[in-house]
């Protein structure tokens, strides 16, 4: 079986690659565990001279988001014990956000749902010009619950965060760049050169200053209350008839969904 997350150290760069291209890099439990282990290693690599982490994905798509196969058929145990499940995912993304190294997320193709929440936990988001970003959870009858609402508000403000979270629509790169959702956009043929420029700039700075500067900025706003609210709301929504119908419709590709409001 191939590795779900591939880690590679080259000079000052520690690279973490999502590696489920055949499933559009859909994120499942095992991949989350591997991602957590990768960032445990990132801290060790920082002590060993690494200066920047790059998260990227194999294939044409960064990630379609969470693997819906985890919810089909609906897992009653998960519905009744969602808080530990959500808290574990939140803790992994918090670990990424708190990483001592600056973290660059390289986006191509689609970056949706949980995948965008992953990107939001990174310090910089650099995208190929045709990438599409979105939080489609409302179309599944749920909300982003791994820091998506909290980090989105901090990054682009409440009004724009409500636009993405409540409508579930995707946005293209010009709008994402204008909103500050991504830091830079490059033609696909120039993406790697653009990433290398960012890496060179970060590596040229004093590593402790970069690390402590990141920590100071991250600690200005405490995420904890918002994360608790996300987990509470999701625990209600995942029990709903709307969620059950939405998951089945997505898997069966039967639209539109007949929302019941219950």
CA distances (Å), origin 59, targets 5, 157, 185, 207, 242 = 13, 32, 19, 31, 33
Q: Are 170 and 75 in contact (CB under 8 A)?
A: no
Q: Is 192 a catalytic residue?
A: no
Structure tokens at 51: 């200066």
- How would you label 180-196 residue by residue, b for 16+ Cβ within 10 Å and e otherwise? ebbbbbbeeeebeebbe
Q: Are 99 and 154 in contact (CB under 8 A)?
A: no
Q: Is 137 a catalytic residue?
A: yes
| φ, ψ of residue 257 in degrees (nearest 5) | -80, 135
Catalytic residue among 117, 129, 192, 241: 117
Q: CA angle at residue 124 from 204 to 169, to 5 degrees?
A: 165
Catalytic residue among 45, 97, 137, 230: 137
Enzyme catalytic residues:
117, 137
């Amino acid at each position: 079986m191939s590795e779900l997350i591939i880690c590679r150290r080259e000079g000052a760069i520690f690279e973490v690659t999502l590696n489920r291209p055949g499933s559009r890099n859909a994120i499942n439990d095992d991949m989350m565990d591997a991602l957590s282990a990768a960032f445990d290693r990132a801290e060790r690599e920082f002590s060993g001279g690494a200066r920047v982490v790059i998260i990227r994905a194999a294939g044409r798509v960064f990630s379609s988001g969470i693997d819906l196969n985890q919810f089909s058929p609906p897992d009653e145990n998960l519905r009744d014990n969602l808080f530990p499940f959500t808290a574990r995912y939140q803790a992994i993304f918090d670990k990424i956000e708190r990483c001592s190294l600056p973290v660059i997320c390289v986006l191509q193709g689609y970056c949706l749902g949980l995948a965008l929440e992953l990107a939001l936990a990174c310090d910089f988001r650099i995208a190929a010009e045709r990438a599409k970003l979105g939080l489609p959870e409302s179309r599944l009858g749920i909300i982003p619950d791994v820091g998506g609402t909290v980090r989105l508000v901090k990054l682009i403000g409440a009004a724009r965060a409500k636009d993405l979270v409540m409508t579930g629509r995707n946005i293209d790169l010009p709008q994402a760049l204008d909103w500050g959702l991504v830091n830079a956009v490059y033609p696909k043929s120039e993406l790697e050169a653009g990433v290398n420029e960012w890496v060179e700039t970060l590596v040229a700075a004093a590593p402790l200053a970069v690390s402590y500067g990141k920590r100071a900025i991250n600690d200005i706003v405490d995420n904890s209350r918002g994360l608790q609210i996300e987990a509470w709301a999701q625990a209600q929504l995942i029990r709903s008839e709307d969620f059950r119908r939405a998951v089945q419709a997505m898997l069966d590709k039967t639209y539109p969904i007949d929302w019941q409001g219950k």
